[in-house]
Amino acid sequence: MSETPQAFETLQIHAGAKPDPATGARQVPIYQTTAYAFRDADHAAALFNLQEVGFIYSRLTNPTVFALQDRMAALEGGAGAVACSSGHAAQILALFTIMGPGMNIVSSNRLYGGTVTQFTQTIRRFGWSASLVDIDDTAAVEAAIDENTRAIFCESIANPGGHIADLPALAEIADRHGIPLIVDNTTATPYLCRPIEHGATLVIHSLTKYLTGNGTVTGGCIVDSGKFDWSANDKFPSLSQPEPAYHGLKFHEALGPLAFMFNAIAVGMRDLGMTLNPQAAHYTMMGIETLSLRMDRHCENALKVAQWLENHPAVDHVTYAGLPSSPVYDRVAKICPKGASSLFTFALKDGYAACVKLIDSVELFSHVANLGDTRSLIIHSASTTHRQLTEAQQVAAGAAPNVVRVSIGTENADDIIADLEQALAKATA
Ligand SMILES: *Cc1c(COP(=O)(O)O)cnc(C)c1O
């Protein structure tokens, strides 16, 4: 939406947030309202026909949420954005808009644990399916695509192992098959990686993580590049054909680059109702104001901690992509040149038991199922977030039983290292 050529650090503060026209309030107000008075019957009809953009009912959108959507679209360089009640809701809404029964996606197997479960189990109830493949094996990606495939899905920097996807290579395959590349950019944030610049069509976020940045919110977002031609083939009838769920509107013809966003709100959000509340949107916008500052510090701290861990005798290996020993180190310069974020895993030589002991011995680190907080966080994925996966799936996802996941915070790096040092001493005693 925003076409201002300003730098990221400026946009993260100003995009979507002009002084409130009614009161002059400088910060975006929390519009705690369910509904909006129509000027008259014609105004109401125009809004319901999408002939005029405005507010109807807060399940669809709300001025505070709208401001956040504008900011996210500006930061990702997209045409429009839709905010949702969680990252997982954003994934479902993105798929809902482009899928139908019998359709499938081809997805990376390096995924947030909840996404593995959502894709391999839960989406089947919609009649959808997913093939999980190693996305570094482009022949396997290609082979998994069939006439019912509607998207390729991956995480730019994958949770939990920090693997970096070769986005241009995947975008090229998606383009050739006339389907969108969907990128979960949660771990990277738009400050470190802008997937649309590498050919992605839809960018998904869990706002819960680095974007809000302080562990106060559950939220999600989809940003659309606005560049995909939904009418180039007959694969996306909800966008290219008369939409029966919206009195026959042809979204792509009527709304052009905003077709996906309007369809996701007017049909998906209207009927599935995974709405973000204005209070959460407000907290998230406050967090985003300092995103670049926090991410620089997260990356700097993560590199120091990863280097220290790599030289520790109890540690078998560290997966941080910012280390020259990482097999995807060369992708940092290409995909996320400002840094490889602060989420990574390390494996202990003494295996599962030592991992559990380590978790129980940390003091500064919080043992929680979250990431992207200013606080340093730690978890043993195999017994928690990735517990419902088979051991083979755990290993493929980068969450083997001897692996611990950390999200390095913005505290002083020496204090973070000191905590790991004392906990590793106890874990391997
Ligand atoms: C947390 C997370 C999600 C899910 O987001 P929620 O806000 O918890 O629903 C999806 N993808 C990644 C990479 C995540 O880290």
Cα 88 to averaged position of ligand 1 atoms, centre (Å): 6
The HSE-up count of residue 127 (CA atoms within 13 Å, CB side) is 8
**Which ligand 1 atom is at minimum distance from the Cα of 371?**
15
Percent of the chain with pLDDT over 70: 99
What is the average pLDDT score of the chain? 95
Ligand 1 in contact with 184 (CB < 6 A)?
A: yes
CATH 3.90.1150.10 segments of the chain:
292-427
pLDDT tops 70 at residue 4: no
User: Domain spanning 292-427: which superfamily?
Assistant: Aspartate Aminotransferase, domain 1 (3.90.1150.10)
CA of 320 to the centre of ligand 1 (A): 19
Provide CATH code, domain 8-287: 3.40.640.10
**Residue whose CA lies nearest to ligand 1 atom number 12:** 112
Question: Which residue from 186, 218, 370, 406 has its CB within 8 A of the most atoms of ligand 1, so it is best to mutate?
Answer: 186
Cα gap 4→181, rounded to integer Å: 26
Q: Is the pLDDT of residue 56 over 90?
A: yes
Task: For residues 113 and 110, give the distance between their C-alpha atoms in angstroms, rounded to a whole number.
Answer: 9
**CB of 385 closer than 6 angstroms to any ligand 1 atom:** no
**pLDDT for the residue numbered 197:** 98
Q: Which helix (H) or strand (E) holds 70?
A: helix 63-76
Place of tokens 């069939």: 146
Each residue of 81-130: pLDDT tens digit?
A: 999 999 999 999 999 999 999 999 999 999 998 999 999 999 999 999 99
Domain with CATH 3.40.640.10 in the chain: 8-287
- Name the least confident of 283-287, 301-305, 377-381: 377-381
pLDDT category at 158 given cuts 50, 70, 90 is: very high
Q: How far apart are CA 212 and CA 289, in angstroms?
A: 9
Contact 134, 82 (CB under 8 A): no
Question: If pLDDT is split at 50, 70 and 90, which confidence band does 391 have?
Answer: confident
- Give per-residue burial for 359-384: e unless 16+ CB within 10 Å, then b: bebbebbbeeebbbbbbbbbbbbbeb
CA of 70 to the centre of ligand 1 (A): 21
Segment 359-375 shows an average pLDDT of 96
Q: Is 281 left (phi over 0), alpha (psi -120 to 50) or beta?
A: alpha
Pocket test for ligand 1, best of 91, 204, 209 (most atoms within 8 A of CB): 209
Decide: 209 in ligand 1 pocket, CB within 6 A: yes
Distance 160 CA to ligand 1 centre (A): 11
Maximum CA extent, the chain: 75
- pLDDT value of position 2: 47
Q: Hey, what amino acid is at 429?
A: A
